[in-house]
Structure 1
Amino acid sequence: MRSPDFPIAALLPELRASLAAHPRLVLEAPPGAGKTTQVPLALLDAPWLAGRKIVMLEPRRVAARAAAGFMAKQLGEAPGDTVGYRIRFESRISARTRVEVVTEGILTRMLQDDPMLDGVGALLFDEFHERHLAGDLGLALALDVQAGLREDLRIVVMSATLDGERLARFLDAPRLSSAGRSYPVEVAHFPARRDEALVPQARRAVEQAVATHPGDVLVFLPGQREIAQVDAALAGSDALRDIDVLALHGELPVEQQSRVLQPATDGKRRVVLATNVAESSVTLPGVRVVIDSGLAREPRYDPNSGFARLDIVTIAQASADQRAGRAGRVADGWALRLWPQSQRLEPQRRPEIAQVELASLALELAAWGSADLRFVDAPPPGALAAARDLLRRLGALDGESITPLGRRMLALGTHPRLSAMLLAPRDAQERALACDLAALVEARDPLRSRSDAIAERWRALAAFRAGHATDGNRGALAAIDAAAKQWRRRLHVDATPPREVDAHRLGDLLAHAFPDRIAHQHATQPRRYQLANGRMATLFDDSALFGEPWLVASELRFDAKDALLLRGAPVDETRLQRDFPERFVERGTVRWDADRRALVAQRERRFDNIVLDARPAGRVDPAQAARALTDAVRELGLDALPWSESLEQWRARVRCLRAWLPDDADAFPDLSDDALLATLDDWLLPAFAGKTRLDALDESALADALHSKADWNLRRRIEALAPTRIVVPSGMERRIEYAFDAHEGARPPVLAVKLQELFGLADTPRIVDGRVPLTLHLLSPGGRPLQVTQDLRGFWDRTYPDVRKEMKGRYPRHPWPDDPWSATATHRAKPRGT
């Protein structure tokens, strides 16, 4: 039977009415309100649903399983009847299921496989404030489906701690807010002692909490490793002799998770050590005290590995508030924060889309057939372009279109690098070996000793399987072995991995995951390697890979000059020629030699960007020369071009106009350094036609090239709005100086003119249709500045009398009238004898 004992219950009639009238809704409800388990059930009999399914996205597997179980229990059923769930490697649904709780990857696959969402009437996005990449993508795809195919589809975005007003504006949706169910929570900070690490600090906090407060204790820790360390530290505590210490994280077996989520049957107090899986969507009965480390493991792009890695980061204030609220679910509670009170947290969690590698997202967009989706926060263009470049190297994209291989990679549901490697082998034993490598690459390093050889890690795994002694961490190796078995099951690989393997066989497979990091030994510097992406890498002094002619790097540390190869394996050149024949090419090239400041023509044999052999070629091809000179400017910077003063001024005028006319800025070309360098092929490349030297481009040709970014009508408009010269009352034309600073923006335009030339002029001259006043540098007859002003009228009234008194004796041959308003402006001195 359904339980009405939730704060959200009072809001459910309004929620149903809103969705009957509008297809989208934003629901804000704090933890404990009951939104996760009550909203789906309340919508089951809605007329617009017409017997179709409700699919609810739950970001975490623990929460998905728990939510489905709780709803099924309310209905007096088991999961898989009216309410079911689907998570990675586990499904409890049937033909009778009307509410399906799924995790993020499952929802994306549903949308990709059936954009019509046949049989689905509503999508609910729970805990959207967590801002996982897959959740943002799922919402963007759902909005695209709703706009183009399914106007009747309902979309509800639910969150506990989110800027609901902003989200409601983005979705053009009503916004409803529910009260929570909580008791007062007293928050205190429990700072570390000097040089105290997290584990002993957490142990002290737990012992104090148990001694001074009633109820169970929930401890938030970054990840499994810290949970295990704190668990071990608490095992020796006399204060916790009669207390159960339990772990809660996403990798636990279902039975252990269920035990933590159920009340203690024996009445014993409990200390639960949890990741941020306990932050939302799951309820832990009996908790009265929360101890918060203020840390979480979240994905961040690691350029060393090419993957998003889970890094320990400081949580946002919204997460801290939500964690503290867990102490007030059943009675008054206490929250101990293990960071100083002076430490300030970011208000909200940053979306993953802004800080992770985007190859998986780019592949999903290519499969969808359009990147023109509405994201709450758009993916960064640079990261998305880099992701597409990688996908082309992996063979997943042809231009912007997904390839058949790309679709097979997408179906595996892992990072495209690993998908490409898992699909590359040609026999069963190699596929089993690829599964080992996928597990090794994704895992934390199992070796205790430092080594840059992947082969040593695989041999430690093989020794662990055989029950032999190994230098590796047995817990880490067990996890890697389990992950490899899981991959073999997913890929239907019946073969077992070999017991022994040559190191290059590992590299031959890894080359399919890291084609951009295949490396060839430098001809004269044996520790240096050129990478397929054009960069250079260096080995450790004691590298186990020293002497190998070909390598593939699975992990690099990027520095300004050479990267440092942290982990890799040798590669067999014969296998490269078999697997990547299209990347071995021979062609004529023309490149810029920075030392000689000249073009060099060569006949090169290459693997991708690795030059294997080069010999001098004959005449320089004009088209290649123009391209090489353009690339030289890209490398040297815009200062390598012959800028004239007038062209610098024209560029400054255009940049200023973009700043002065923000509503019309796009009408003018972007002439910033970044924009010009990004578009060199459009405006500069044609100017180098027929040229073989950088200094063959003169000032006139450069001016023509830059002016090509504005057509004739626009150039006339620029001249009218921001003229180079202005006629002053003396009848003379005087120059206007423009300046644009990259940091400060558009500076006021300057007119330097002798004071006598402005007699009779009351107001400061203006440009840009009167919007921008000139800054007047009023000069003495000798050309020295007397006053800088944008208020000419105020100068005549207040300052000129003092200037006249001082200057009249110094420059007697120039007019200094008592009344500058009626005097005749002039650029000449008085005639002799006057």
Structure 2
Amino acid sequence: MPSLPLDCPARAMLQRDMQNLPIHDALPALLAAFQSGTRAVLQAPPGAGKTTVVPLALLSSGLVTGRILMLEPRRLAARSAAEYMASTLGEEIGATVGYRIRGESKTSKQTRVEVVTEGILTRMLQSDPELSGVGMVIFDEFHERSLNADLGLALCLEISEALRDDLRLLVMSATLDAAPVAALMGGAPVVTSEGRSFPVETRWLEKPLPKGARIAEAMVEQILSILPETNGGLLAFLPGEGEIRRAAAQLDARVPEGVSVHMLFGALPFKDQQAAIRPAKSGRKIVLATSIAETSLTIEDVRVVLDAGLARRARYDAGSGLSRLVTEKVSRAEATQRQGRAGRVATGTCYRLWTRGEEGALPAFAPAEIEVADLAPFALELALWGSADLPLLTAPPEGTLAEAQSLLLALGAHDTEHRITAHGRTLAALPVHPRLGHMLALAGKSAAPVAALLSERDILKGAPADLALRLKALENPRAVPHQVNHAALAQVRTEAKRLARTAPDVPTGYSPAQMAALAYPDRIALRRTGDAPRFLTSGGKGTYLADDDPLAAARLLVVTDTDGHPREARIRAALQISEAELREVFAPDITWQNSCHWSRRERRVMALEEERFGQLALQSRIWKDAPQEDTARAMCGGIRELGLKPSPAAERLRARVALLTQAGHEMPDMSDTALLETLEVWLTPYITGVKTDAQWKSFDIHSALQAQLTYEQTQLLAQHAPAHFTTPLGRQIPIDYAGDDPEISLRIQEMFGQRTHPQVAGKPLRVTLLSPAQRPVQTTMDIPAFWDTSYSDVRKDMRGRYPRHPWPEDPREADPTLRTKRRS
């Protein structure tokens, strides 16, 4: 395919446009990189012109044979970039330059530069690994580190190594550290361009916002305060659509005459997005935007930026298996991007809704999407590609990837070796999450409305959790007594039509609840016993409904959306499902199982025969002949909750063992931690009849502990750390090992005749000598020294108090006794 001719008017227009943008200075180095190789990295800050100039410059250079694909992270950016490049060439969109986004395509046989969103590239790579007819792939705004961009680059690198050594790859980024991605691309050259920007004065708050301050209201007050002191358009960054709509509603009634207010977020209709981007026809404009306005898009006339310092991101929690949107502080890189928007056309001002001191706590960069996203679609792509060993800039978290692979296995999308199945190929071809793809594949076109509702924004405002209300509103908005979000309704209807075209024609007759159950087999929820509407899901997670929700009394639900709380998530959307409907869909997965488990509520072992679906017990009855080994193992779970509760004899044994361990002898670990970890090994043979809390309280673990000792260890224990001390009188006294030193207490007369001090494990025994009234007289670690020194003073004192008891002058020669003197 020939390049644009030198005398082509479009080429002249291109050159004139390039001359006015900073990227022009970097083009020679970039073209030289592709004359000598097939890969490069381009660093160019916002405003340099990389998105609209570089593809056309590469096309006109003649270096690229075939089409140029350029990836954009967002649909609005893809559409706008394509339209701008087409207008630069003086052509209609779809001629030399076209675009493809979800649900819309403007291309023709003449298209040489095709701007696509990232999911489109993945589908192209999976269906045609050679990328036939494509000469170059450009990854724009790669610093945003979207999951599809990371995957697309990895696949392209693998293709270029194995099938297409002529495929040219260019990564373009504004703030990304270029060295790691250049190394990933085999040491690709890095070309740097200066940006076109004017000085921007940055101003911070003097003191932090009060805790609990509503961002929308705070932004409105700040906007109204800075309007009189500034000129030009004002771009305000808020975290999400909700805050933007609240702020817009308040500003519409309060801004001065001649100031127009525009909103800009991903779900906004395209014509409204275009109105926000284009210059104001008269007066000033205020654009309230999400992070969609950070890069790629040029919003004309903006000279003032107000940054709330927040961004809303999807976060996946492997513990709950759910994703949720969280509002987080922006990174320093994102704040810099937003600040730069004020200096695109003239000197500008950036106001930050945080103090200068708070800025140091901001993270340097936002995390890559692969680190925090739901990886089920990614795992499906890996299985379809046939390899998990891809050259990725950031490796996926092992736990999250394992969770995603478990889901795909449950859906039948791949086997236990993560190899794609025929059903998995069907799911990969459907333009939805694998859960929804599974639903569409099995339930057919009739599931398209349910899939659309589950994949788009809520169409009702302030309504209860019942998804059936949304389905009714989808057919007739007037049929529900709730406020309808008509923009979201239109989007859901469009998506439902698109999905109906791609879904197979499978006349199953499934109800909406059964369709949702196909998508969420791990979120079938059974109401727990009790008054509160709390539920346990088939995946083992806890959920709950508001007490006044109409679904609160339902026995079984299919939970389709929650707030993602890791401990117990609040249900935001669900469908009631009957047990008959559940059995119809999942009959092979519902089985009778015998189980013994510790019941925290009953404080006893429960031996049950249960009809189970996942973690749910649909029916249960007493398992009368449960093996004692099973009940003992279940009791171990209760013991871990109740604690060991050793008897005094067991405690002494543990202390004796610990003493010998400290002395260097090899003995079993009888610490609480070790014993609780290994209950099933040492305790189960002894507790076959113990099933309740009360029975455990009266059980003595001494025998079970003693059984852990070998014969040699038992002998060693008796020799060096005996349980008793034998007094000169022949009586055995338990040795107390609880303190720092082993200790005994006995009457002083019972130690008469003791010439040496007793020892335990090579250490002197602490001896507390008592008066005849059992009161301490002396504590010693050296009996002979006591006889030689302090005894005489003790004798003088004690003879007067206890004259009927013997107090010999030389206790070494006296006989031990517990008796009094005979009366004369």
Q: Tell me, yes or no, whether TM beats 0.5.
A: yes
* Residue 376 of structure 2 corresponds to residue 359 of structure 1: yes
Shift of 1:381: 0.6
Cα deviation, 1:674-704, whole Å, max 9, x if unaligned, reads: 9xx9xx9xxx99999999989999999999x
Mapped contact 1:303–1:558 kept (Cα < 8 A):
no
Mapped contact 1:306–1:555 kept (Cα < 8 A):
no
Shift of 1:515: 0.8
3-state SS, counterpart of residue 222 of structure 1: coil
Matches within 5 A, 1:380-779: 380-399=397-416, 400-425=418-443, 430-431=446-447, 433-435=449-451, 438-439=452-453, 442-444=456-458, 446-448=460-462, 451-462=464-475, 464=477, 467=478, 470-474=480-484, 476=485, 478-492=487-501, 505-522=511-528, 527=533, 529-537=535-543, 540-556=546-562, 565-588=571-594, 603-611=609-617, 612-616=619-623, 620=627
Shift of 1:365: 1.4
For 2:329, the equivalent position in structure 1 comes to 314
Cα deviation, 1:190-234, whole Å, max 9, x if unaligned, reads: 568767643344334434444223322222222333333232222
* Letter matched to residue 233 of structure 2: D
433 and 617 in structure 1: CA distance in 2 versus 1, 3 angstrom threshold:
farther
Mapped contact 2:237–2:291 kept (Cα < 8 A):
yes
For 1:225, the equivalent position in structure 2 comes to 242
Q: d(CA) in 2 for partners of 1:43 and 1:328?
A: 28
Mapped contact 2:322–2:564 kept (Cα < 8 A):
no
Q: d(CA) in 1 for partners of 2:420 and 2:340?
A: 46
Shift of 1:75: 2.1
Q: d(CA) in 1 for partners of 2:205 and 2:147?
A: 34
523 and 298 in structure 1: CA distance in 2 versus 1, 3 angstrom threshold:
closer
145 and 263 in structure 1: CA distance in 2 versus 1, 3 angstrom threshold:
same
Mapped contact 1:421–1:434 kept (Cα < 8 A):
no
Shift of 1:114: 1.2
Match of residue 363, structure 2, among 317, 326, 346: 346
Match of residue 17, structure 1, among 25, 29, 32: 32
Q: d(CA) in 2 for partners of 1:237 and 1:598?
A: 66
Q: d(CA) in 1 for partners of 2:708 and 2:33?
A: 64
* Letter matched to residue 268 of structure 1: G
* Letter matched to residue 424 of structure 1: L
3-state SS, counterpart of residue 424 of structure 1: helix
* Letter matched to residue 266 of structure 2: G
Shift of 1:178: 0.9
Matches within 5 A, 1:816-827: none
* Residue 305 of structure 2 corresponds to residue 290 of structure 1: yes
277 and 697 in structure 1: CA distance in 2 versus 1, 3 angstrom threshold:
farther
478 and 638 in structure 1: CA distance in 2 versus 1, 3 angstrom threshold:
farther
* Residue 125 of structure 2 corresponds to residue 119 of structure 1: no
Match of residue 55, structure 1, among 55, 69, 76: 69
534 and 270 in structure 1: CA distance in 2 versus 1, 3 angstrom threshold:
closer
Shift of 1:125: 0.8
Shift of 1:92: 0.9
For 1:7, the equivalent position in structure 2 comes to 22
Deviates more, 1:283-292 or 1:545-554: 545-554
For 1:33, the equivalent position in structure 2 comes to 48
Shift of 1:94: 1.1
What value does the CA root-mean-square deviation take over the aligned residues? 4.5
Shift of 1:44: 1.8
Q: d(CA) in 2 for partners of 1:252 and 1:546?
A: 34
Shift of 1:86: 0.7
419 and 122 in structure 1: CA distance in 2 versus 1, 3 angstrom threshold:
same
Q: d(CA) in 2 for partners of 1:646 and 1:90?
A: 77
Shift of 1:30: 0.7
Q: d(CA) in 1 for partners of 2:566 and 2:227?
A: 51
* Residue 373 of structure 2 corresponds to residue 375 of structure 1: no
Shift of 1:354: 1.4
Cα deviation, 1:232-255, whole Å, max 9, x if unaligned, reads: 22222352x123333333334444
Q: d(CA) in 2 for partners of 1:523 and 1:126?
A: 54
Mapped contact 1:508–1:572 kept (Cα < 8 A):
no
Mapped contact 1:488–1:494 kept (Cα < 8 A):
no
Cα deviation, 1:43-85, whole Å, max 9, x if unaligned, reads: 2255653x21111111111111111122222222222112111
236 and 68 in structure 1: CA distance in 2 versus 1, 3 angstrom threshold:
same
Mapped contact 1:37–1:71 kept (Cα < 8 A):
yes
Q: d(CA) in 1 for partners of 2:349 and 2:468?
A: 50
379 and 100 in structure 1: CA distance in 2 versus 1, 3 angstrom threshold:
same
Deviates more, 1:111-120 or 1:136-145: 136-145
Shift of 1:303: 7.7
Mapped contact 1:588–1:617 kept (Cα < 8 A):
no
Match of residue 277, structure 2, among 220, 245, 261: 261
For 2:794, the equivalent position in structure 1 comes to none
* Letter matched to residue 25 of structure 2: A
Matches within 5 A, 1:319-330: 319-330=334-345
Cα deviation, 1:770-821, whole Å, max 9, x if unaligned, reads: xxxxxxxxxxx999xxxxxxxxxxxxxxxxxxxxxxxxxx9xxxxxxxxxxx
Shift of 1:306: 5.4
Mapped contact 1:220–1:276 kept (Cα < 8 A):
yes
Shift of 1:355: 1.6
193 and 614 in structure 1: CA distance in 2 versus 1, 3 angstrom threshold:
closer
3-state SS, counterpart of residue 398 of structure 1: coil
Q: d(CA) in 2 for partners of 1:493 and 1:143?
A: 30
For 2:100, the equivalent position in structure 1 comes to 86
336 and 594 in structure 1: CA distance in 2 versus 1, 3 angstrom threshold:
closer
For 1:736, the equivalent position in structure 2 comes to none
Mapped contact 1:219–1:273 kept (Cα < 8 A):
yes
Mapped contact 2:632–2:684 kept (Cα < 8 A):
yes
* Letter matched to residue 498 of structure 2: R
Structure 1 gap ranges (5+): 496-501, 654-672, 704-780, 784-809, 811-834
Structure 2 gap ranges (5+): 1-12, 647-652, 667-672, 691-700, 711-761, 765-784, 786-824
Cα deviation, 1:423-466, whole Å, max 9, x if unaligned, reads: 3326x6x435524xx415642472425x34333444455552xx
556 and 333 in structure 1: CA distance in 2 versus 1, 3 angstrom threshold:
closer
Q: d(CA) in 2 for partners of 1:115 and 1:702?
A: 65
Cα deviation, 1:488-544, whole Å, max 9, x if unaligned, reads: 23313999xxxxxx9x94422221122112133457889554432234555544442
3-state SS, counterpart of residue 379 of structure 1: coil
Mapped contact 1:127–1:280 kept (Cα < 8 A):
yes
Mapped contact 1:626–1:686 kept (Cα < 8 A):
no
Number of matched pairs: 659
Shift of 1:574: 2.1
3-state SS, counterpart of residue 397 of structure 1: coil
* Letter matched to residue 404 of structure 1: A
691 and 56 in structure 1: CA distance in 2 versus 1, 3 angstrom threshold:
farther
3-state SS, counterpart of residue 24 of structure 2: helix
3-state SS, counterpart of residue 356 of structure 2: coil
